[in-house]
């Protein structure tokens, strides 16, 4: 299992609570118009909500579950970010993820700030009715701290369109006007957007396509390994296969992965996983432990699971030339330094996995306008945003001779800092 305890990289400067914070600090210190006081604002959280939710189980037992919503910064627009349900959720993790949302929205230049939520329980231990009661209680407890112009949650780890439908319904009970824009990632039949489900994987695919173009790489001849077979991993694998003719040599879940150097059939693997809830036993591929899997031979590695899975050992041993962060914060600080020293291309999550929040933005716009777009229109608009954000990041990284991650943070930070300066202190 990937560890949640992120090692602190050796970067000079203020104390850091995790790797992404250190990436941020090291870039912020180099931006001339960010002084100590502004840095303090960028480092702080506007609001942090800690809940303890009582849940009545179907058998009558009462349990209490910790849950959070952290609103990091709203200088550029309403807070925006998903919420996850996972046993490893902590306040510190949600803080880090809220932080990333602020920079992610700014890198792709959509008018949102950053937030994140989390409920600390393994959802597989709950029945569907228990899960629904939990999501409704969480929504109710957040009260008016969320809203279409305040804070707009969305799916993340172990949450999806049904979760968002419950969330919307609970919010709508006490807000009688059309409030579809309170949450994104809703089902198509309830104000959802075409293309939202595949959006994060699609953004990962566009990022890989652009990097491969720059490196003059023929993707049909490269081995692509994808960690994670949830929404991001599955859609990235499928679209890279279908639209780029890329060879997917492995996919994995938290229990282990399957590998075949000649390529695996992504759709067949997905059907097998849906049927058996494991990839073990999938015909024509070797089953590996999660760690063995990450060390398997590949040219492109796409971590799309949880934070911290690409640690020092993996960074030292992987032969992947390109690492694309499908997940949020999968590469630890020290691992990042090793990869950069080895001259590997690392596409940061605040750029590479931004497709999800971009199409969330489209969904929100469609909800507010009550005018809906076709799947093709959504994909075209998404492609334009991801490609132009990538080009900006790549051009800055070339001009300044810095990594893609440093360039992405520079662009994101400058945009947020400028908005704060323009607004004064009243936002």
Angstrom distances, CA of residue 416 to CA of 351, 388, 394: 15, 18, 20
Residue 360 contacts ligand GLU per CB under 6 A: yes
Angstrom distances, CA of residue 292 to CA of 170, 340, 344: 43, 22, 20
What character string, x for contact with ligand GLU (CB under 6 A) and - otherwise, covers 114-153? ----------------------------------------
Residue 356 contacts ligand GLU per CB under 6 A: yes
Return the residue of 328, 332, 366, 403 that touches ligand GLU, per CB under 6 A: 328
**In the complex, what is the shortest distance from the CB of residue 355 to ligand GLU, in angstroms, rounded to a whole number?**
8
Tokens representing 79 are 């807070």
User: What is the three-state SS of 260-283?
Assistant: CCCCCCHHHHHHHHHHHCCCCCCC
- Please name the residues in contact with 100: beta carbons below 8 A apart, sequence gap of 6 or more: 20, 114, 116, 328, 329, 349, 350
Binding piece for ligand GLU, criterion CB under 6 A, among 58-66, 76-84, 124-132, 284-292: 76-84
Tokens representing 262 are 């000649």
Task: Write phi, then psi, for 342 (nearest 5 degrees).
Answer: -85, 10
Return the residue of 18, 130, 151, 156 that touches ligand GLU, per CB under 6 A: 156
Return the residue of 154, 237, 382, 389 that touches ligand GLU, per CB under 6 A: 154
Query: What is the size of the binding site for ligand GLU (CB under 6 A)?
Result: 11
Residue 367 contacts ligand GLU per CB under 6 A: no
**In the complex, what is the shortest distance from the CB of residue 310 to ligand GLU, in angstroms, rounded to a whole number?**
17
Tokens representing 49 are 């909500």
Return the residue of 81, 113, 192, 303 that touches ligand GLU, per CB under 6 A: 81
User: What is the three-state SS of 181-232?
Assistant: HHCCCCCHHHCCCCCCCCHHHHHHHHHHHHHHHHCCCCHHHCEEEEECCCHH
- Please name the residues in contact with 158: beta carbons below 8 A apart, sequence gap of 6 or more: 84, 85, 86, 123, 230
Residue 348 contacts ligand GLU per CB under 6 A: no
Using CB positions, name the residue nearest to ligand GLU.
82
**In the complex, what is the shortest distance from the CB of residue 230 to ligand GLU, in angstroms, rounded to a whole number?**
11
Residue 76 contacts ligand GLU per CB under 6 A: no
**In the complex, what is the shortest distance from the CB of residue 291 to ligand GLU, in angstroms, rounded to a whole number?**
25
What character string, x for contact with ligand GLU (CB under 6 A) and - otherwise, covers 37-66? ------------------------------
Residues annotated as catalytic (active site), given as ranges: 116
Rounded Cα distance between 404 and 394, Å, is 6
How many other C-beta atoms lie within 10 A of the C-beta of residue 396?
16
How many other C-beta atoms lie within 10 A of the C-beta of residue 343?
7
What character string, x for contact with ligand GLU (CB under 6 A) and - otherwise, covers 171-200? -------------x----------------
Return the residue of 69, 80, 186, 202 that touches ligand GLU, per CB under 6 A: 80
**In the complex, what is the shortest distance from the CB of residue 155 to ligand GLU, in angstroms, rounded to a whole number?**
6
- Please name the residues in contact with 177: beta carbons below 8 A apart, sequence gap of 6 or more: none
Per CB under 6 A, residues contacting ligand GLU are: 80-82, 154, 156, 184, 328, 353, 356-357, 360
């Amino acid at each position: 299992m990937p560890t949640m305890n992120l090692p602190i990289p050796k970067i000079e400067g203020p104390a850091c609570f995790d790797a992404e914070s250190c990436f941020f600090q090291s870039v912020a210190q180099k931006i001339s118009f960010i002084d100590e006081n502004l840095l303090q604002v960028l480092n702080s959280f506007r609001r942090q909500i800690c809940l303890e939710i009582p849940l009545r189980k179907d058998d009558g037992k009462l349990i209490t579950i910790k849950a959070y919503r952290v609103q990091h910064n709203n200088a550029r627009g309403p807070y925006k970010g998903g919420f996850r349900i996972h046993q490893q959720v902590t306040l510190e993790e949600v803080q880090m993820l809220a932080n990333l949302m602020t920079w992610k929205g700014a890198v792709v230049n959509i008018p949102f700030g950053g937030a994140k939520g989390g409920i600390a329980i393994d959802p597989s231990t709950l029945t569907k009715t228990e899960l629904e009661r939990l999501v409704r209680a969480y929504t109710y407890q957040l009260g008016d701290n969320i809203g279409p112009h305040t804070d707009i949650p969305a799916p993340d780890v172990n949450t999806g369109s049904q979760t968002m439908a419950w969330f919307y319904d609970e919010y709508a009970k006490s807000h009688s006007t059309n409030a579809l824009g309170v949450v994104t990632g809703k089902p198509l039949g309830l104000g959802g957007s075409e293309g939202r489900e595949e959006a994060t994987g699609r953004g990962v695919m566009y990022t890989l396509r652009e990097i491969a173009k720059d490196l003059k790489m023929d993707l049909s001849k490269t081995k692509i390994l994808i960690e994670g077979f949830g929404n991001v991993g599955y859609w990235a694998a499928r679209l890279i296969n279908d639209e780029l003719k890329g060879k997917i040599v492995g996919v994995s879940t938290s229990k282990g992965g399957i590998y075949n150097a000649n390529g695996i059939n992504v759709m067949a693997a997905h059907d097998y996983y849906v049927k058996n809830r494991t990839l073990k036993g999938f015909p024509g591929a070797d089953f590996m432990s999660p760690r063995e899997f990450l060390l398997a031979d590949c040219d492109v590695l796409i971590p799309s699971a949880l934070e911290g899975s690409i640690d020092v050992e993996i960074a030292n041993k992987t032969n992947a030339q390109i690492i694309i962060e499908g997940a949020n914060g999968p590469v630890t600080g020290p691992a990042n330094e090793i990869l950069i020293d080895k001259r590997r291309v690392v596409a940061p999550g605040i750029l590479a996995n931004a497709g999800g929040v971009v199409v969330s933005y489209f969904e929100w716009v469609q909800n507010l306008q009550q005018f809906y777009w076709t799947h093709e229109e959504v994909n075209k608009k998404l492609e334009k945003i991801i490609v132009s954000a990538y080009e900006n990041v790549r051009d800055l990284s070339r001009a300044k001779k810095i990594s893609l991650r440093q360039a992405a943070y520079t662009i994101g930070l400058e945009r947020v800092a400028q908005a704060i300066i323009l607004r004064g202190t009243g936002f």
